[in-house]
Amino acid sequence: MSADTARHPAADRPRDAVFLPLYRQIKSLLVQQLHQGEWKPGEPIPSEMDLAARFQVSQGTVRKAVDEMAAENLLVRRQGKGTFVATHQEPRAQFRFLRLVPDDGESVPTQSTFLDCRRVKAPADVAQKLAQRSGDSVIYLRRLLSVDAAPLVLDDIWLPASLFRGLTPERLAEYHGPLYGLFESEFGTRMIRADERIRAVAAAPDVAALLSVAPGSPLLLVDRVSYTYRDQPVEVRRGFCVTTEHHYHNELF
């Protein structure tokens, strides 16, 4: 164990710290503090010098941890201003979780229309994905995303009721920003990453009517589970997507 590791306060050290490189230990501690709300989305975190003193490690170790967190969209570096907790309210984050782009250009803002919002018992498959028991309470949302009044995506969304108390049709009707921004600012739940499965399906009659396509038309179905800090699942989403003028775009590195 390095001298830097030995100087860590025991209470601040993650359980598996001894098995991780030192910068990963610091990253784990920083993520833990984000999870606990020490620094809110959009707020600056302490400087690398202050963090190095706090954890009794070198600035280089802190910098490596912060670099990795910035690459994962947990933090945002701003030239001459410092490092900030990433937020879904930032313009460049608007399309991070919406991977549909027009065939003939860049992504454009979408309009949201909420068709349903109610508390229900979690279906078995949804409960499993949310690490809940079958029948636990969840908030169910149905939302239509449109571009220039043309329906693009029909989303069915399930959220743990315990984390989203107060999410009502009235609150959704008066909110006009990104949905993940609302989850972040009012319910303290920030979506960090998502796991998606994609397949082609034929439009069922009810889905076809809402998307203004003929029954049986080909759609792209995106099944998503979204996670907050520490890999806690907090959203199950099924999106039926019209791809006559759009395609799913992702970059692989």
**What pLDDT digit, counting tens, does each position of 57-116 carry?**
999 999 999 998 888 778 888 888 889 888 876 655 554 666 778 888 776 778 899 999
pLDDT of residue 228: 92
Residues 139 and 206 in one domain: yes
Q: Note whether 110 and 72 are same-domain residues.
A: no
Paired strand residues for 195: 225
Quick one: 105 and 200 in the same domain? Answer: yes
pLDDT confidence of residue 1: 36
Interval 218-242: pLDDT, tens: 999 999 999 998 889 999 999 999 9
Q: Cβ atoms within 10 A of the Cβ of 210, count?
A: 15
40 and 117 share one domain: no
Quick one: 153 and 243 in the same domain?
Answer: yes
Cα–Cα dist 139/159, whole Å = 5
Is the model's pLDDT at 7 over the cut of 50? no
| Residues above pLDDT 70, as percent of the chain | 88
| 42 and 120 belong to one structural domain | no
Both 138 and 208 in one domain: the answer is yes
Instruction: Give helix then strand counts, H and E, for the chain.
Output: 8, 10
Could you tell me if 79 and 114 lie in one domain?
A: no
Report pLDDT digits (tens) over 188-212. Answer: 898 888 999 999 999 999 999 999 9
Q: What's the number of domains the chain is made of?
A: 2
CA dihedral 104→208→93→114, nearest 10 degrees, is: 140
Q: Residue 226's pLDDT is what?
A: 94
Q: For residue 38, what is the domain's CATH number?
A: 1.10.10.10
Residues 113 and 231 in one domain: yes
Q: What is the pLDDT of residues 28-38, one digit of tens each?
A: 899 888 888 88
Say what the pLDDT of residue 8 is: 43
The CATH number linked to 99 is 3.40.1410.10
73 is in which domain, residue-wise?
A: 3-85
Instruction: Give yes or no: residues 75 and 97 share one domain.
Output: no
Q: Which of 24, 55, 85 is the last residue of a domain?
A: 85
Whole-angstrom distance, CA of residue 145 vs CA of residue 34: 31
Residues 128-156: what's their mean pLDDT? 94
More confident: 4 or 48: 48
Torsion, CA 226, CA 230, CA 232, CA 235, rounded to 10: -20
Residues 6+ apart with CB under 8 A from 199: 220, 221, 223
Does the pLDDT of residue 15 top 70, yes or no?
Answer: no
Between 248 and 219, residue with greater pLDDT: 219
Look at residue 4 and tell me whether its pLDDT is greater than 50: no
Q: Is residue 253 part of a domain?
A: no
Supply the angle between the helices 59-71 and 48-55 in degrees, to the nearest 10: 120
The residue from 36, 65, 85 where one domain ends is: 85
Q: Give the C-alpha separation, 63 to 75, whole Å.
A: 12
* Residue appearing with tokens 């009659």: 205
151 belongs to a structural domain: yes
Strands 218-228 and 137-147: unpaired
Mean pLDDT of the chain: 86
Distance CA 230, CA 227 (A): 8
Structure tokens belonging to residue 104: 């003939």
The H or E element that residue 197 is part of is strand 193-202
Using an 8 Å Cβ cutoff, are 114 and 203 in contact?
A: no
Same domain, 107 and 80: no
Q: Is residue 184 a contact partner of residue 88, using CB atoms and an 8 Å limit? A: yes
List the one residue out of 173, 188, 176 whose CA is nearest residue 234.
188
Residue 5's pLDDT band (cuts 50, 70, 90): very low
Which pLDDT band holds residue 2 (cuts at 50, 70, 90)?
very low
Q: Which of 85, 113, 140 is the last residue of a domain?
A: 85
Q: Is residue 239 part of a domain?
A: yes
Give residue 43's pLDDT band: very low, low, confident or very high (50, 70, 90). confident
